[in-house]
Structure 1
Amino acid sequence: MLQKLSLYVANICAAEDSAQIDTVLARAVQDLNFVSYNLSCGKLNPQDFMTDPDLTSWTTHELEAYDRDRWGRRDPLLQRLEGREPAAHTWCSTDWLETPYHDYSEYVHGVGIGGGVTVPLASSTGRFNAMTLLTLTPEISGDQLAATQILANVAQSRLAATGLLHAGTGSSAAAFRTLSNRQREILHWAAMGKSNAEIAVIMDQTKRGIDYHISEITRKLG
C-alpha cells in the first residue's frame, strides 16, 4: 500500500489544476476500497461542506438531493465537524440507530453505504476543512485510515499551493516544506515502485535509515 500511496502523493504534488488532483484522488479512493470522497476547505459553516465541495466524486444529482432533503441539518458527521473534533475518525451506518440521528443511519444504509472516514484538516482562519470518504463495508483498517489522512492533507496542500482554495490552509501546505531533500528523493523512488531495500541501495543508505525516513514522511504529511 505504501508504494501506491507514494505514487498518488507524487502525482498530486505534480498536478497543475483541480481536475488533475480530482483524477488522482478518485483512483486512490478506489484503490483504498472506498466508493466516493468529498473534500471541502475554507467553509464558513459545516453545511457548506456537502453543498459546495472543492473536490468531490459525488454527482450533481447526489449533491442536489442531499441539499433538497435537508440532510445537512440532520447529518451527525457535520455536527461532529462543528464541534471542532480534530482527530480523524471512522464510522459505520448503524452508529446512530439508537440516537436522534437514526433517520440519517437509515438514509445512509438505504443507499448502500456501510461506513466511512472523516478527516478534519488544519485551518488558520477558523473555517471548516475536511475530507470524507464512503465505503460499502463497515470495516476500515488502520492502514486505510492512515492513507486517507495523508491523501487529504496532501490534496489540500496542493490546492492551496496552486491558489485554488480560500485563504487559511497554509498550515497544511507548509507540511511539504518540512520534507528534507533526502525525504523528497525517497518519496520519488517510492512513487516509482521501489521497495525500501531497493531505495537504500540506490541512495547508498541503510534500509533501517530508509524505513525511518518513510515513517517521518508519513508523519509529516499525515
Structure 2
Amino acid sequence: MTAIEHSFHEFLDALQTGTDEIAFQNIGERAAHRLGFRWFAYLSLSDDTPRLISSYPRSWTTRYFELGYDDIDPVLRRARTERRIFSWDGEVQMPRSRKLKSFFDDATTFGIRTGVTVPVVGGFGRLAAFTLASQERSAAIDRLVANSSDILHLIGLYFHTNLEIRLSQHRPTHRHRNLTQRECQCLAWSARGKSVVDIAAIVGISPRTVVFHLENCRRKLNAASLTHCAVIATRQGLIP
C-alpha cells in the first residue's frame, strides 16, 4: 500500500467517527497535513448562509466574507462549472479588476498561494468545494496531483457526503458524547476485533497510546470492559 493509499484509508476510517463540525475540521486538517498541504477548506453554498469548515487562519476567513470575496473568488467560480478536481495558483492568475487584485494580494499575505479544489455541484444551484491549499508549490505536491488526482477527488467527495449525512441526522445529545476523535477511532477498530498492535499500525500511533485512548473510552462511558464500552458507544451513535 502506498503512502497516499494509507492516508486515504485512514481518512475514510476517521470519517466514520465524525459527529460534528469540529470533528470534521480535525479530520480535514489531518488529511491535508498527511498529504503535504498546509490547509484545507470546505465551503458549502447549499443554503442561504454559507457553511465554511477550514483550517485557514480565522482572520482570513472573516475578511473573506466581510469583503465579499466569495462573490469574486475565481476558484469558486471555476468550481461552479467544473466536474473534476483542478489545480490553481494565485501567483500566476491575471487579475482583471482592482477588487480581484486585492483578493489575490490578501490571500498571498496570509500565505495562501496554491492548491487543488474538488467541486461538488448539485441541483438548484447548490455548490460545495473541498480545497487543499499550500504556501508554495512543490515538486511533491505536483507529483501527487498528477499521479493521484482520483484519490484526491474521492477525498473531497467523501468529506462532503459524510458531513452532509452526519449533520442531517440531528442525533440527540448524550451526556457521554465527550469522546475525542482519536478515542472513537480506536474504539471502533477495537469493536471490530482488532488488537492494540493492529490498531496502532492502522491509525499510526504507538500501542501504548492506543491503550491510553481505549482506557479513556472505558472510563468516560463507565463501562466494565471494552466489549461493554463498544456496546454503549454503538448505541449512542459514537462509533459506526
Q: TM-score band (shorter)?
A: 0.5 to 0.7
Task: State the alpha-carbon separation in 1 of the partners of residues 115 and 22 from structure 2.
Answer: 24
1:27 aligns with 2:30: yes
Task: State the alpha-carbon separation in 2 of the partners of residues 98 and 21 from structure 1.
Answer: 33
Structure 1: gaps spanning 5 or more residues: 166-184, 195-222
- After superposition, the C-alpha distances for 1:43-92 in whole angstroms (9 at most, x for unaligned) are 358xx65xx31x2223443222122333233321122234x221210011
Residues 126 and 79 from structure 1, CA distance in 2 versus in 1: closer, same or farther, beyond 3 angstroms?
closer
Aligned to 1:7: 10
3-state SS of paired residue (2:41): strand
Aligned residues: 166
Aligned to 2:142: 141
Aligned to 2:164: 160
Task: State the alpha-carbon separation in 2 of the partners of residues 192 and 119 from structure 1.
Answer: 29
1:70 aligns with 2:68: yes
The AA in structure 2 aligned to 1:88 is I
Higher relative contact order (CA 8 A, sep 6+): 1
TM-score by length of 1: 0.62
Question: In percent, how many aligned pairs have the same letter?
Answer: 17
Structure 2: gaps spanning 5 or more residues: 170-191, 193-197, 204-240
RMSD after superposition: 3.1
1:16 aligns with 2:15: no
Bigger CA radius of gyration: 2
Is the CA contact (8 Å cut-off) linking 1:11 and 1:24 kept in structure 2?
A: yes
Is the CA contact (8 Å cut-off) linking 1:91 and 1:117 kept in structure 2?
A: yes
Is the CA contact (8 Å cut-off) linking 1:97 and 1:105 kept in structure 2?
A: no
Aligned to 2:54: 56
1:92 aligns with 2:89: yes
